[in-house]
Amino acid sequence: MIQQEWVVLFRYIRAMYPQQKFDEYTPDAWYEVLAGYDAQAVRTAVAACAAKKPFVAPAEIIAQIAANAANCMTDFQYEPGDPDETARQYLARRRQQIAAVTAGQRPAALPALGASPRPLELASIGRLPGAPAPQPANTPRSIRCPRCGADPGKPCKTTFRGKPMVDVHPARHDNWKAA
């Protein structure tokens, strides 16, 4: 908040609390405490405090700002942008949306259920009943492993404990190359 906004805002606070004593140093002291907050958020918090109490302190205004922000965040839902956004872009966009909501701006209504912004892919939800099973790609995993007996499309298993391997057995790889 800039100094000019604060002058107007402090006049608003004095108008909301005419019975409270303010001297010539009060605006400067309160500005040091409230300068980091958005002017509109402070104004909204002052109005909410005035409806409850005849006197106010900066700490009560700050507590009301936090309560207002928490109330705004109850219905917050991230609105995705680009489907290929990176983690850095996601975080920046989410922070912008949270800042907008806590400043009192409500996001546009989300589309109705069933009217998805991008269609669901069947692969993301599984096969439909009666649909043919997907064929494994042409990789070493597309054939049966001669060493551990892993089925096509399944990972090879370790011989010691039978845990899935990240890579395939060399014999499976050689058979795939020969095929």
- Residue with tokens 């597309």, as numbered in its chain: 142
Model confidence pLDDT, tens digit, residues 94-138: 888 887 776 666 655 444 444 444 444 444 455 555 666 555 568
* Contact of 62 with 23, CB cutoff 8 Å: no
Model confidence pLDDT, tens digit, residues 153-163: 888 888 777 88
Indicate whether 14 pLDDT > 80. yes
pLDDT of 55: 92
Please state, in angstroms and rounded to a whole number, the distance separating the CA atoms of residues 179 and 66: 66
pLDDT of 158: 85
Model confidence pLDDT, tens digit, residues 52-81: 989 999 999 999 988 887 777 776 777 777
pLDDT of 56: 93
- Residue with tokens 């912004």, as numbered in its chain: 117
Least Cα distance to 36 among 66, 14, 70 occurs for 66
* Average pLDDT score over residue span 169-176: 88
Average pLDDT, the chain: 79
The DSSP-derived string for the chain is --HHHHHHHHHHHHHH-TTS---TTHHHHHHHHHTTS-HHHHHHHHHHHHHH-SS--HHHHHHHHHHHHHHHHTT-------TT--HHHHHHHHHHHHHHHHTTPPPPPPPPTT--SSPPPHHHH-PPTTPPPPPPPSSGGGS--TTT-PPTTSPPB-TTT-PBPSS--HHHHHHHHH-
CA 97 to chain centre: 8
Boundaries of every domain in the chain: 3-73, 76-107, 137-179
Question: Is the model's pTM score more than 0.95?
Answer: no
